Structure 1
């Protein structure tokens, strides 16, 4: 991999102004990265960039021109991205499939799948030309098995496949591509939905269905993302890493009443 001597490594986090993306930006800044906070919410991106000493950029992942401009700008101004994290996403309520409109389906696909593809190709091609780089896509455990959030889960399953395919396309050029699949993560959007009592068919705390008996904190997802983006993971590519407090592992125990509630005396 060709590098510029003493160049601070640059990480571009798309969807970086809120939620998991914001946690990733904060951690990567603490770990010494020069962070570009890229988000459709330009004002929130600016606030976070000032907080962490990073750079704010406005971008809409549904617009290929904006993504290409972002990639070219980072290349010209900062010497290119050493790492790209794609954390932007469109969500949905739990709906029967017949209630998902074509407009809603197309929007979710455009943001989650096509948007991820646009970002990966815009930055990945530049990384390949320079001889190295790392991409981490945020997928979801809902993309790993059947899920009642049908449109969202379908796009995340496709992102996992896209990640593996791009890892094979660019691996010989020194570009690593991995995915992180969070479980239910305690970001503001999720907490707001719970407080309003909507968007779920499950009663109670969904963390009870996980092997660890809890949900995931945004910082825990960020730790996995930063590791995969860094050179500490230089031999890792094409993987999908669940960060879900053991939710996926425990899904097969539901017919037996869920994970065992062990105690220190048992």
Structure 2
């Protein structure tokens, strides 16, 4: 049997690229789907994969991408939804509906469209694994009034689809990264929207997450080793979620 076919959205950089590289290293046939086709193609050449252009927020684009994968490989075994955008930390009076709609359209609608197109093909084929990338921002309060709710929606969506397609052998799980060292995060640091020392101090491990650490969790959840796992949300956050409540008690006890 040929090696499994894995589709990764947002694979041109950051977490998506790390997932594509890790899946290729694990022996999968990897399709790198991204709106930035040339950047995705660069990574694809490096790992022996195939790049396709897709705008995850556009229904016709996602449908065409799914059909292209089926035409090329005859099946899809794994889908990793990593395509997403961040937002500025603006109060509601300054966060325009144009920006709000854009974030939710890509992060939540885009995840749903990709799940719907690829997931139904997996279900018809008798099985598969979907891993959606959400965020710890979807699990806690923060000044991200579009991004946070969109990522919370991704977590809920994954649970719904896990129940929908489980009887057909399709597993659907979520990975929620903490603050991860990616080009997108670097922009926030460069503009001082985020401060690296504050981000590190808010974790028990006192560091940022690496993209390859997110990818390792994704590869595990997509693998036969996780064959009994579906409908979960796995935070990979260097202990951000357990660290933040300690602020009420004066902060963590650093050695």
Instruction: Identify the TM-score tier after normalising by the shorter chain.
Output: over 0.9
Q: Which residue of 2 aligns with 1:174?
A: 169
Structure 2 gap ranges (5+): none
SS at match of 1:89: coil
1:162 to 157, 162, 176: 157
Count of residues in correspondence between the two structures: 255
**Aligned-pair CA distance for 1:230:** 1.1
1:216 paired with 2:221, answer no
Structure 1 gap ranges (5+): 1-5
**Aligned-pair CA distance for 1:205:** 3.5
| TM-score normalised to structure 2 length | 0.97
**Aligned-pair CA distance for 1:203:** 7.6
Q: Which residue of 2 aligns with 1:250?
A: 243
**Aligned-pair CA distance for 1:195:** 2.5
CA distance in 1 between partners of 2:250 and 2:34 (Å): 42
**Contact 1:71–1:80 (Cα < 8 Å) also in 2:** no
2:225 to 232, 235, 239: 232
1:64 to 59, 67, 78: 59
Q: Which residue of 1 aligns with 2:190?
A: 195
Compute the RMSD of aligned alpha carbons: 1.1
Runs of 4+ residues over 4 Å off in structure 1: none
Q: Which residue of 2 aligns with 1:259?
A: 252
SS at match of 1:137: strand
**Aligned-pair CA distance for 1:66:** 1.0
**Aligned-pair CA distance for 1:150:** 1.4
1:35 paired with 2:6, answer no
**Contact 1:136–1:178 (Cα < 8 Å) also in 2:** yes
CA deviation string 1:26-55 (max 9, x = no partner)? 111001010001000000011000000000
1:99 paired with 2:90, answer no
| TM-score normalised to structure 1 length | 0.93
